[in-house]
Amino acid sequence: MKLARTLGLASVLALSAGLAHADSTVRFWYHFDNADNPMDALITAFEEANPGITVEAENVPWNSYYDQLYTAIIGGNAPDAAMVKAFAQPRLVEMGALAPIDDWLASWDATAGLQDNLIDLVKGPDGNQYYLPVQYVVLYLYYRPDMFAELGLEVPTTCEEFREAAKALTRDTDGDGQTDVYGFGFRGSKGGHDHWASFVLGAEGVSLTEGLTSEAGVAGTQFVADLFQKDEVFPPSAPNDGFQEIIGAFKAGKTAMTIHHIGSANGMVEALGDNVSAAPVPECGGGRWTAFGDESTAVLSSAEDPVAAWKWISFLSSAGNNAKFNEATGQLPVVKADSESWTLHPQRFVQATVDSLPFAQMLPNSSETADFVNTIWPTAMQRVLTGDITAEEMNAEIAKLYGG
């Protein structure tokens, strides 16, 4: 009897030990628009290099990515690692959903190989490091060189020049009394805050947290409203236009300028060939502001095997793998070695990105930014464009959100 009990206990212990050393599975969430999804190839390479770790990667649609991520975290079904943007970090930290990666970063031999400052740019609001950069972009101005040449226009470097160029480019090309080309494709729906910010936040002393209700801040928003209402240089659908609409209209020749990043460059070249180029956004109110578009990966605090999750995310940000990852997303690698050998984009778009880097900025690292991006800005901007509220009221609403 005693022998049987001892054998039984030994079996249970052996089973437990076996389970403790069983293979790990890393559940990873990401969002790719590109149909040529390279994730399977990256996973295969990772699993070969890390026997015992299996990666289950799930491509979650972008429109509901954060809704689903927050809900999964609260519901106790969060992934072990996920792709994340800086604007979501304050909320995720507040939720206690992220695991600090400082110690792993300190002992990781590839940390020094990342682009300068990128790690610092995505530092957590409490001073810890949670995010590991995986790709980046900087927004710049797309324009049609053929249309500019036809009208004898120079690429605008200031807001005043931009306005004059946009007015000249807005025209009826076939004489049927209808406007066929608009000067600028403005993104009035969710995600368009970067367009607005380029016209408003360049002014001295104006930021989302300070000076937005000053004369200069209100003048910036009024400038955007006037472009639509008085000058009519945006397509009439601008208040509702999103990413697909502004890119589609530019490719179709319906607009002569718009703002986006290098991620859309290859698609633009495919549609327009040499008739598309890029330049930094114009200087408005005495300064320039453009958005630094970040994307990182993070280990969730609820990860079953955090070390395996770290191995996977650091794999994505290491030389070679990071290039493969960015070939699919069309954005820029964060690894210096991959950047040096980067040939995916035509040089003029890489140059516009590099030229824009000195004044590229991120949105405030606070919990309010998610509301600003998702609801406050789109609703207020649409109301200004349609004449429902004034530029002053819009800026006051945003300032109130940030406690101004």
Contact 169, 351 (CB under 8 A): no
83 vs 329: CA distance, rounded Å? 12
Pick 194 or 241: Cβ nearer other proteins? 241
CB of 224 to other proteins, least distance (A): 14
CB of 383 to other proteins, least distance (A): 4
Pick 55 or 381: Cβ nearer other proteins? 381
CB of 259 to other proteins, least distance (A): 19
- What are the backbone dihedrals phi and psi of residue 203, each rounded to the nearest 5 degrees, phi first? -60, 145
Residues forming the site for other proteins (CB under 8 A): 67, 70-71, 74, 91-92, 94-95, 177-179, 188-190, 235-241, 249, 252, 254, 367, 371, 374-375, 378-380, 382-383, 385-386, 388-389
| 13, burial (CB in 10 Å: exposed 0-12, middle 13-18, buried 19+) | exposed
Residue of 153, 189, 195, 187 whose CA lies nearest to 170? 153
CB of 341 to other proteins, least distance (A): 40
23 vs 305: CA distance, rounded Å? 10
Q: What is the token pair recorded at 268? A: 């633009």
Contact 86, 365 (CB under 8 A): yes
Contact 140, 281 (CB under 8 A): yes
Pick 172 or 215: Cβ nearer other proteins? 172
CB of 349 to other proteins, least distance (A): 25
CB of 54 to other proteins, least distance (A): 29
Sheet bearing 140-143, strands edge to edge: 257-260, 140-143, 277-279
Tell me, what DSSP letter sits at residue 23?
P
